[in-house]
Structure 1
Amino acid sequence: METPGLVVHGESAPFSTALRSLVNNPLYSDVRFVVGQERQEVFAHRCLLACRCNFFQRLLGPEPGPAVPSPVVLSTVPADAFLAVLEFLYTNRVKLCRHSVRLCGRLPASHSGLERNVYQYREKYGYLSLCLEFVVKVLDVELVCEALQVAVTFGLGPLQERCIAFIEAHSQEAFRTRGFLELSAPALLPLLRSDKLCVDEAELVLAARSWARVGAAVLQRPVAEVAAPVVRELRLALLAPAELSALEEQNRREPLIPMEQIVEAWKCHALRRGDAARGAPCRRRRGTLPREHHRFLDLPFK
């Protein structure tokens, strides 16, 4: 009977260092990328990319040829993000920082099929999971809305739940960040539906207006049109009559909320019943400040 061979393992650190030295190294490189708005030139090695990533295998083919673009242009992928992905493909590890996680986790607003596949295979080969592990460890007010957007974009349920729970506990601070203003409507909706936000409804209305203004400026669309997918989740009946009157006046100057939604809130006040107007949510949030008319509401905080 043949004696089994002995498997000998070399030291991993020198091996990883040697492979890392090939990242963006023109030595023996046989494929070139032009990355980002700065058009940074990045060198790579097709055999390594192809064996690590099926997308690159299909893109680059078995050997150089006219079908392979030279250079491969990735104009909207940030150079730092692309180099971090390459480092992971070459060494199976990467050093993460808050800046690189933001770049690598954020999907551009517009991107080619090639760039979209780079993001997809980044996720498939584990780099995104490393980013997520890092994000959870360093999650704070400044990062949480950006992380929530990434979770919604990629359908990462556990991360989305973690981010929403964090925002529920730090609502006022999170809603003042740039990341909040840059949320998409699908990312903002679950927040506005939460009973556990530690913020009063008056502040939430102001935050929603600021969010819609930013979106209107970026998209070149009316504020009311941008706000339409989310404003139905505002609980206007929680506002006192004076606050509701002020909101109605501001809404005339800068439309944000459909008039019928304001009318529904007034019905709750007139009839002194929280369920009087169908579609007018009256549940108090965790951060709702008490007002005299709240004693007439039929739906307390859950």
Structure 2
Amino acid sequence: MASPCSAVLLGDSAAFAAALRTLINNPQFSDVTFLVGREQKEIFAHRCLLTSRCQALHAMLSQPQEIQAPLILSHVQPEVFLAVIEYLYTNNVTLNNNIALEVLTSSIEYGLDDLRKLCVEFIKDTLSVDQACEAFQDVVLTRGFLELSELAMQTILHSDCLAIDEVKLIRAVREWAHVGSAVLDRTVHDVAATVVPGLRLDLLSPSELTTLEEENKKDQMIPVESLAQAWKIHALRKGCGMRSSLRQRRRGTLSREHQRPLDPQHK
């Protein structure tokens, strides 16, 4: 007697994805609601699909709670979370330059490696350096920022186009270095050693430098020599040709009185 045969036959995957797409943010038959972003926009979803596709959401949705209680996700934009939902439902994602970086950080946060790869490909092919730098202030508020590589951080800090003030940037780098220190079992100073030279301490006011020195006593992230050099520039009150690139204002640098004689663009 012949043995039975079996085979997996593939149907129309496009039609299947299109059918699932109709369920995205559809309240009909939905059994979980997210309140997303600062405005707490309602986004509807289906537990069985989310938990089967994402381990992070599986853990989140497995916590004891009332079945109808909305889940609050205040740290992510609604458009970004909807892009993640689209990927989970259809295995495709619609990206644009406004959300690509944040979808990338969300993919890291939720452990969606295939989505991360799609975001990286999109960014590599379409996103300019200037656009990435303009979005940087929002990116530092995400968890994905803390997972940037040392080389990526060095590259970012060399840009004049960052839409963020230097004080906020230094705080963000310090948080990044502390996370790296815990993960790599190295000192904060060692983790940040190749990154700190890209910080523009000369842009800080005297009071900000004083505060920075106090904060620096806790982790020695910034070498004493770098702080001394910034104070020296303040004492001279004029650019003398030294470290001119580190006196250049970034796009997001807030105006400070002392910066006028330090900025090579001002005559």
Report the TM-score, using the length of structure 2 for normalisation. 0.61
Matched, 1:208 2:201: yes
Aligned length: 213
Change (3 A) 1:144 1:8: same
Matched, 1:75 2:67: no
SS for the counterpart of 1:70 is coil
SS for the counterpart of 1:27 is coil
Quick one: higher RCO (CA 8 Å, sep 6+), 1 or 2?
2
Asked if the contact 2:32–2:68 (Cα under 8 Å) also holds between the matched residues in 1, the reply is: no
Change (3 A) 1:193 1:70: same
Whole-angstrom distance in 1 between the partners of 2:130 and 2:32: 41
Matched, 1:140 2:133: no
Give the alignment partner of residue 164 of structure 1, picking from 154, 157, 164.
Answer: 154
Whole-angstrom distance in 2 between the partners of 1:15 and 1:151: 33
Whole-angstrom distance in 2 between the partners of 1:24 and 1:13: 19
- Distance apart, 1:15 and its partner CA: 1.6
Q: How far does the alpha carbon of each residue in 1:133-183 deviate from its partner, in whole angstroms, 9 at most, with x for none?
A: 3333324134148399579734343xx525634x58xx4xx2243147453
Matches within 5 A, 1:1-302: 1-61=2-62, 66-68=65-67, 70-105=69-104, 120-121=109-110, 123-137=111-125, 138-144=127-133, 146=136, 153-157=145-149, 160-162=150-152, 164-165=154-155, 171=158, 174-179=159-164, 181=166, 182-183=168-169, 184-186=172-174, 189=192, 190-193=194-197, 207-210=200-203, 212=204, 222-226=208-212, 228=216, 229-230=221-222, 232=224, 234=226, 244=232, 247-248=234-235, 250=237
The structure number with the bigger radius of gyration is: 1
Asked if the contact 1:59–1:68 (Cα under 8 Å) also holds between the matched residues in 2, the reply is: no
- Distance apart, 1:5 and its partner CA: 2.5
Change (3 A) 1:58 1:185: closer
Whole-angstrom distance in 2 between the partners of 1:120 and 1:74: 13
Whole-angstrom distance in 2 between the partners of 1:180 and 1:132: 26
Change (3 A) 1:156 1:226: same
SS for the counterpart of 1:96 is coil
Whole-angstrom distance in 2 between the partners of 1:151 and 1:139: 22
Matched residue type, 2:98: H
Q: How far does the alpha carbon of each residue in 1:15-67 deviate from its partner, in whole angstroms, 9 at most, with x for none?
A: 212112211011211111111111111110111011112333333349xx854
Asked if the contact 2:51–2:61 (Cα under 8 Å) also holds between the matched residues in 1, the reply is: yes
**In the alignment, what sits opposite 2:183?**
none
Change (3 A) 1:61 1:94: same
Relative to structure 2, which stretch is displaced further, 181-190 or 15-24? Answer: 181-190
Whole-angstrom distance in 1 between the partners of 2:62 and 2:84: 20
Asked if the contact 1:144–1:163 (Cα under 8 Å) also holds between the matched residues in 2, the reply is: no
- Distance apart, 1:236 and its partner CA: 7.1
Matched residue type, 1:87: E
Give the aligned CA root-mean-square deviation in angstroms. Answer: 4.2
- Distance apart, 1:6 and its partner CA: 3.6
Report the TM-score, using the length of structure 1 for normalisation. 0.55
Gaps of 5+ in 2: 178-191, 247-267
Gaps of 5+ in 1: 108-117, 195-203, 252-283, 289-302
